[in-house]
Structure 1
Amino acid sequence: MGRCPLPTDQAEPLDGRSRKLNATSYVVLGMLSYGPATSYQLKQRIGSTIGNFWAFAHSQLYDEPARLVTAGLVSQSIETGGRRKRTYSITEEGRRALAEWLAEPTLEQTEVRDTGLLKLFFGFGAAPGDIRQLAKDRYESHRARADGYDEQRTEIEGRADRWQLKTLELGLRYERTVEQFWKDFLDELDTNPP
C-alpha cells in the first residue's frame, strides 16, 4: 500500500545534545516499545508487521539502534561471550520522543508508488499483449497479497492490539480495491481490446 511520509528529521535538545530523528528512528523506537530486541529481531518483527506497508532498507536496522543509544533514546546490553550480540531497549526518553511524534499532525498526502500503474500510464508504447499480461500479473499479485492479509488477520486476531488490526484492515481493503481495479481492466480488455 502507499507510503505516508514521516518527518525526515527533528532536532530537539537532549541533555545538551541534539538528535535528529527520521522515519527509521521512529520505527525502531516503536518496535522496541513491544520489548527488547536485537537488530535481527527488529528486522523479523518489521517483516511480519509494518513491512507490509512501510518499505525501507533493513540495513538501517543495524545502524539506527546504535545512533539512538548515543542519543539516549535506547539502551543496549552486550552479550559477554559468543558473537557479543547487542540487545536494545527503549528508554523513558525514547518513549517520550515516540509519544511526541505520535501527537504531531500527519497531514502529508499518501504516496502510491506502483510500478504497474506507472507502466500502464506509458502503455501507449507497449504491445497489446504486454498490457494484458501487465493487468493479469498485477491482478494476481494484489489478490495474493490480500489473501495473505486475510490469513495474517486470522493468525493474529486475539493476540494483536486494536491498532495493529486496523492497519491490517486498511491494507486488506487497499489490496482488494486494487485487485478489483485490475480485474475490471482485464474484463475491459476482453470486451474492448486495444
Structure 2
Amino acid sequence: MHLQKDYNRRFAKEPLHDFNAHRPLALDDDLDAEFTWREPRRVSKNLTVQYDKMLYLIEDNEYSRRAIGKYIDVWHYPDGHKELRLNGVLLPYSTYDRLSEVDPVAIVDNKRLGHVLDVARQVQRKRDNNRSQSLPCSGDEPSRRQHAPSINKSQRSLNEDDLLEAMIKLQGSSEAIFGKR
C-alpha cells in the first residue's frame, strides 16, 4: 500500500476537466465476456482442439460436427475457466491434460506396479511441465513470463533413451529395494 501511495504522489496528474464521462453499465453488459482472452483454434476431424498443452475433447453432437475443420474460439476467462464457442454458442467438452503427473497415492506397495510407476515418475521429471508462455495467467497464479526457460525436454522429445536412463538410475537403487542383488 505504501508503494501505491508513493507512486501516486510522484506521478498523479489532475484531470483537465471535472466532468465524469463514465457511463453506468447496462443490464445486458457482460464484463466477464469482455475481459476474456480469445484464441482461435481449428477443430480436428476427431472433434478435438489443442490449447495450452491441453487436449479438449468436444462432445459429439449434430451442432459440434459442423465445427469439424473450422475455427472456433477458446475463451480464457480471468478466473481461469475456459469455454469453447462456435459462432458464440457454447460447446460442451471434456479435457485431457498432457502434463499429468503420476499420483503419489497411486504408487502402492505392489512389487511390480510400484517400480513401473517409479520409472514413469523419473521420466516425467525430465519433461517440461510449463504451460504456454504466450497465454494470460489465470486467477492467483504467478505470471508465466517470470520463469527462466526450462532445461527439460518437451513431451514429444522424450524417447527410449530417457526411459532407459530412468531404468538404469532405479536399477542402481535396487539393492535398497530388494535387500540384495
TMscore range, shorter length: 0.3 to 0.5
- Tell me which protein shows more helix as a share of its residues: 1
TM-score, normalised relative to structure 2: 0.33
TM-score, normalised relative to structure 1: 0.31
- Tell me which protein shows more strand as a share of its residues: 2
Structure 1 or 2, whichever has the larger Rg, is 2
